């Protein structure tokens, strides 16, 4: 996976997305929320307007994966706030492999046909999930 740690430098091409890893307790309900920002031509930071965008979350691991799309209701998008949220169910998080194995990408599709990965990294499964998707205590 090629991405940056969030800091852009002149040596990193502009098409390389920033990286961030998420730790998810396997078998738990989880909300993964991301607020996207952009830099204006003047160098100021502002929220990225996601209005009119279709957002997709791809999570891949050897032998499996998940895909959630905003157009199907799998992701909640607040366009003007620049936020995307995946409200994961216990059965979904239980499927994540334990450890730093699963990779993810948040992808933005706009009406003009542009497709861009906004964020990528690892979706790290923490703990052993019980059958049925719930963790025992």
Q: Which residue has the tokens 């906004």?
A: 118
What pLDDT band is residue 16 in, cutting at 50, 70 and 90?
Answer: low
> To 5 degrees, how large is the angle CA 124–CA 69–CA 31?
45
18 CB neighbour count, 10 Å cutoff: 17
More reliable by pLDDT, 90 or 112: 90
Q: What is the pLDDT of residue 136?
A: 43
pLDDT surpasses 90 at 71: yes
pLDDT 10s digits, 105-114: 999 998 888 8
Q: What is the pLDDT of residue 112?
A: 80
Domain 22-127 in this protein, CATH class: mainly beta
pLDDT surpasses 80 at 53: yes
Encoding tokens for residue 79? 């366009």
Percentage of the chain surpassing pLDDT 70? 82
Encoding tokens for residue 12? 């990193």
pLDDT surpasses 50 at 8: no
Provide the CB-side half-sphere exposure for 89 (13 A, CA). 8
């Amino acid at each position: 996976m090629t991405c940056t740690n969030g800091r852009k430098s002149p040596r990193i091409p502009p098409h390389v997305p920033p990286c961030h890893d998420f730790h998810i307790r396997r078998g738990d309900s989880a909300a993964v929320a991301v607020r996207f920002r952009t830099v204006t031509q003047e160098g100021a930071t502002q929220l990225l307007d996601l209005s009119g965008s279709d957002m997709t979350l791809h999570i891949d691991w050897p032998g499996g994966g998940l895909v959630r799309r905003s157009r199907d209701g799998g992701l909640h998008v607040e366009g003007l706030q620049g936020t995307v949220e995946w409200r994961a169910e216990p059965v979904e998080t239980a499927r994540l492999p334990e450890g730093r194995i699963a990779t993810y990408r948040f992808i933005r599709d706009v009406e003009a046909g542009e497709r861009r990965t906004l964020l990528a990294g690892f979706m790290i499964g923490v703990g052993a999930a019980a059958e049925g998707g719930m963790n025992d205590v």
